[in-house]
Amino acid sequence: MKLKTKILFLSAAAFLSACATGPVLAPSGAFVAEPFTLNLNQNWSAFKRKSEGVQGAALTREGLDLNMLAVYMIEEGHDLKAGKGGTQEEVDYKSGMSQLELVEFATASLASLDMKNIEVSSVETTTFAGEDGVGFDFQGFYELGLAAKGIMRVSETDMGLAMGIYVAPTRVYYDRDAEEARRALTSARL
What pLDDT, in 10s, does the model give residues 117-144? Answer: 999 999 999 999 999 999 999 999 988 8
CA 177 to chain centre: 15
Looking at residues 72-86, what average pLDDT do you find? Answer: 74
Is the CB of residue 33 less than 8 Å from the CB of residue 20? Answer: no
154 vs 25, 45, 73, 164, CA distance in Å?
25, 23, 10, 6
Average pLDDT, whole number, for the chain? 83
Q: Among residues of the chain, what percentage have pLDDT more than 90?
A: 57
> Taking residues 79-88, what's their average pLDDT?
56
* Collapsed DSSP state (helix, strand, coil) of residue 89: coil
| The pLDDT value given to residue 89 | 52
Distance CA 162, CA 77 (A): 14
Would you say the pTM of this structure is higher than 0.85?
A: no
